[in-house]
Amino acid sequence: MRNHGVGSWPARRGRAAGARTAVVHAGRAAAYRELDERSRRVAHALEERGVAKGDRIAYLGANRPEFLEAMFGAALLGAVFTPFNTRLAFAELEVLAADSAPVLLVADADRRGDAEALYGAGLVGGFLVVGGDQVRGGEQDLERAVATAPSGEIDRPVELDDPFLLLYTSGSTGRPKGVVLTHGNVTWNCVNSVVDTDLLSTDTALVSAPMFHTAALNMLCLPVLLKGGRLLLEERFDAERSLDLIEQEGVTVMFGVPAMYESIARSPRWQEADLSGLRLLMCGGAPVPPPLIELYMARGLAFVQGYGLTEAAPGALMLPVADCGNKAGSAGVAAFFTDVRTAEPGPGPSEVLVEGPNVTPGYRNRPDETAAALREGWLHTGDAAEVDGDGYFRIVDRVKDMYVTGGENVYPAEVEAALAAHPAVRECAVVGVPDGTWGEAGAAVVVPASDHRPDPSELRRFLGERLARYKIPVSFDFAGALPRSGVGKIDKKALRARLDGARTGDRGPSGP
């Protein structure tokens, strides 16, 4: 087999366990043999539409088998799979499409309007729609393309150094950056995950976090498929549904952000639910609050916490299962085939640096930002950690201003730029503040353009047309001026202190 990349995995797994269930979605199970065949058919269908090695294939949709089939099909050709965040506003999707220039977009039926608009604007070369009676059998129907495509073997040369994924993360300036992950980056990350969490071929994984994020895809889905386990794909998270699946389907491993686990723990069924089959609760996106750790430990469950970032595919640190109790709150030690250190040795917080075969070669078309992030062989993460006497890392702060709300990265510069476009706003600043539900949330301080204070609900509506919902601040405070440092920069430390002391702003719904 000349394909040494991730696209060959369904065929390789099919040789050993073709009849074993790979994916369950909406009550329908598909074996590894079927995943292999459909991935090959997708690859042939893409090739018939002119897709070649190095081309970008975008995906805009929920957790469905077609997501995996499109990903593996693209990888069989050496094309680059580019999942778009379904929570983004259309204006944000336009930016991603313009940067990635996909030759084809695969979209859920309920996103057909977005697909047509992106195609009409010349931002994607074509599109195929997943599901939906209104397109069934039409020229843009993915199912028709799969059904009419050949099913024969397809073996194009793909090496581990070839790009596999293009995942977008906001930059420190608010501009999205496309992180290139090679087949080797993802393969080594999956090996790390399998080794560090002791995944089994008998595991059943609940996937309700969105697969367009690197954590759900690369820390759960792909490692489980590599090992030969079973995926339960859920298109959206629901706490009661999660408890049903844990009890009825024998879920043994799941991934979520703290807000998801907290929602499950708030269920009236929490104390009586049968959780005996669960053995791995993987959690990322934000530190797990101590009260939540205690809630789960009272049910005999511990979180396998870790630390990662898209540029590391994403796993950098992992808390060993055996240490979940005595090292609760720690991000753990370096993943098995990865090295992690701090920029400055000794006590006190210092920037986290990562090196290993899972680290990105860089950002798409961003040579300056690539050079800034990858220096002397190490990825400079922008996050700070303390290391205890046993070598365990604890993430304590961010060198940059980014904050994480419900597992979603938010860069204040992007929100500030959108908010400053409102005619009633003279200037503004956004910072992350602690939030009991989402871990962190955005808080905005606004200097009005006149004596008339703008209505916070109007500001939320304005931002809702330009940004994903989770990026909209939960509070708006108003001031005559913003605090500044001696060199004229906005003093965000002083802003946080002010917000912590006041907490009087108008608040409203937000979060993912």
Short-list 233, 158, 150, CA closest to 6: 158
> 441: which 2 tokens?
């949330």
Predicted confidence (pLDDT) at residue 235 exceeds the cutoff of 90 = yes
pLDDT in tens, 194-203: 999 999 999 9
- Label residue 510 by pLDDT band (50, 70, 90): very low
pLDDT in tens, 188-222: 999 999 999 999 999 999 999 999 999 999 999 99
Give the global pTM.
Answer: 0.86
Q: Cβ–Cβ contacts within 10 Å for residue 236, how many?
A: 10
For the chain, what are the domain ranges? 6-159, 185-398, 403-507
Predicted confidence (pLDDT) at residue 170 exceeds the cutoff of 70 = no
* CB within 8 Å of 316: residues ≥ 6 apart: 306, 307, 308, 309, 334, 335, 338, 340, 352, 354, 381
| Mean pLDDT value of segment 42-51 | 97
Least confident of 224-228, 261-265, 401-405: 401-405
Exposed / middle / buried, residue 82 (Cβ in 10 Å: 0-12, 13-18, 19+): buried
Q: 136 vs 145, which has greater pLDDT?
A: 145
| Mean pLDDT value of segment 456-470 | 95
DSSP for 138-172, please give it.
Answer: STTBHHHHHHHS--S-----B-TTSEEEEEEEE-T
Percent of the chain with pLDDT over 70: 94
CATH number of 185-398: 3.40.50.12780
Least confident of 118-132, 278-292, 376-390: 278-292
Predicted confidence (pLDDT) at residue 508 exceeds the cutoff of 60 = no
Which CATH number fits the domain 6-159, given the four candidates 3.60.21.70, 3.40.50.12780, 3.40.640.10, 3.40.50.300?
Answer: 3.40.50.12780
**3-26 exposure pattern, b = at least 16 Cβ within 10 A, e = fewer:** bbbbbbbbbebbeeebebbbbbbe
pLDDT at 509: 42
Predicted confidence (pLDDT) at residue 320 exceeds the cutoff of 90 = no
Cis-peptide into 268, omega within 30 deg: no
Class of the domain covering 403-507: alpha beta
Short-list 477, 414, 411, CA closest to 443: 477
Which residue blocks in 49-159 are alpha helix, DSSP H?
65-77, 90-100, 112-120, 142-148
- Label residue 111 by pLDDT band (50, 70, 90): very high
pLDDT at 70: 98
Is residue 181 a contact partner of residue 164, using CB atoms and an 8 Å limit? yes
Measured between alpha carbons, how far is residue 41 from residues 80, 138, 183 in Å? 17, 17, 21
> 126: which 2 tokens?
């074509």
**Two domains, one topology: 6-159 and 185-398:** yes
